[in-house]
Amino acid sequence: MITVRPAKPRDAAAWLQLRHALWPEDSAAEHREGIDRFFAGAAREPLAVLLAEDGAGCPVGLVELSIRAYADGCSSDRVAYVEGWFVVPQARGHGVGRALIAAAEEWGRSQGCRELASDAEPDNAVSAAAHRALGFSEVGLVRCFRKEL
């Protein structure tokens, strides 16, 4: 039995653990800062964080969401966006990711969005397969550049 619900301040430690597992390149302190900003209402992104809990109330996954004015392949200027999507390895393959995306869709509709967009690293074949299985269509592959100013 999987429940998906918005993260609350008491979930900060669990959210930190899931976030750090998804983005290990950022330090725990950096993740904690982002989480504190979110609960203080001062974060530009994410706008919403949904946690998946198993039958024992244990957090097993998350989806972090924002609204972007532009997303590749989208035609609207208010696109619900999956900024982060993660399920703990031992819970994968049992519909937790699907439940998180269904809740993300619901959230997007509640925000007046008509499109849900997402991205994945080019070599993340599992993510690509999961996106496709959940009804996303692949709209492109981009290279990112940066220059110091």
What are the residues binding ligand COA (CB under 6 A)?
Answer: 22, 85-87, 92-98, 120, 124, 126-127, 129-130, 133-134
Q: Give the shortest CB-24-to-ligand COA separation in angstroms.
A: 11
Contacts of 111 (CB under 8 A, 6+ apart): 47, 67, 78, 80
Q: Which residue number, 58 or 129, has a Cβ lying nearer to ligand COA? A: 129
How many Cβ atoms sit within 10 Å of the Cβ of residue 43? 16
Q: Is residue 81 classed as helix, strand or coil in its secondary structure? A: strand
Residue 57 to residues 8, 129, 132, 142, Cα–Cα distance (Å): 14, 28, 29, 38
Q: Which residue number, 46 or 97, has a Cβ lying nearer to ligand COA? A: 97
Q: Give the shortest CB-84-to-ligand COA separation in angstroms.
A: 7
Q: Which residue number, 34 or 61, has a Cβ lying nearer to ligand COA? A: 61
